[in-house]
Amino acid sequence: MNLKELYQEIILDHGKNPRNLGKFENFNKDAKGHNPLCGDKVHLFLKLDENKKVNDISFEGEGCAISMASASIMTDLMKGKSEKEAKEIIDKFLDMIKEKDDINTNLLEEDEKTKLMSLGGVKNYPMRVKCATLSWHALSSALDDFQKDVTTE
């Protein structure tokens, strides 16, 4: 693993031109993520429909290429996923980013997996793992809050 593999085109592209950037109207869940040590911030907006499927998702934030690319790729592939599927993908992604070599799920297309695997290079840069996982933890927390809301109803 070298730096070229970490800063490959796909990450530079998503880092520079993040998809799904900006708040959208009528979101029904949001969550903030913050890395207190380095100052990276992400604010995630989510709309789950009545069947608990991700109808729309976006984010606002500031951070390094890794954290922006990760949020961009994540929001792209979460659209249309059910809450349960989203949680499984989050778990599989976090497994991969920390230790595993692969993303073991059939909820994602091969090209989606390839995109996520491009973030796997941070394994060799332990201080940067938190950059890659920030938006994923924010999504996880947004989903959990939604569940609480649902339970209260």
Partner 1 sequence: MKIENIKKEFPIFNNKIENNDLVYLDSANSSQKPLVVVDRIYDFYTKEFSNIGRSVHYLAVAATNLYENTRTAVQKYINAKDKNEIVFTKGATEAINLVASTFGQKHLNEGDEIIITELEHHSNYVPWHYLRKNKGIKINFAEIDEHGDISLESVEKQITSKTKMIALTHLSNVTGAILPIKEITELAHSKGIPVLVDGCQSAPHMKMDMQDLNCDFYAISCHKMYGPTGLGVLYAKKKWLDDLPPYQGGGGMINEVKKNDISYGELPNKFEAGTMATAQVIAFNESINFLNKIGIDNLINHENDLLNYGEEVLRKNNSVKLIGNPKKKGAVLSFTIDGIHPHDIATILDEDGVAIRAGHHCCQILHDKLGLTASARASLGVYNTRDDLDKLNESINNCKKIFNK
- Positions touching partner 1 (CB under 8 A) are 2-4, 6-7, 12, 15-16, 37-41, 62-66, 68, 125, 128, 131
Min dist CB 56 to partner 1, Å, is 26
What is the rounded CA–CA span in Å between residue 140 and residue 153?
20
CB 73 within 8 A of CB 119: yes
Q: Scan for tokens 């729309």, then name that residue.
A: 56
Nearer to partner 1, 65 or 107 (CB): 65
- The residue among 30 and 40 lying less far from partner 1, judged by its C-beta, is 40
> What minimum distance in Å lies between the beta carbon of 3 and partner 1?
5
Choice between 21 and 38, CB closer to partner 1: 38
Q: Look up residue 48 and give its DSSP letter.
A: E
Of 33 and 63, the one with the shorter C-beta distance to partner 1 is 63
Q: Phi, psi (5° rounding) for residue 34?
A: -150, 130
Q: How far is the CB of 72 from partner 1 (least distance, A)?
A: 14
Which of 56, 52, 66, 48 has the alpha carbon at shortest distance from 134?
66
Distance in Å, CB of 39 to partner 1, minimum: 5
Name the DSSP letter for residue 24.
-
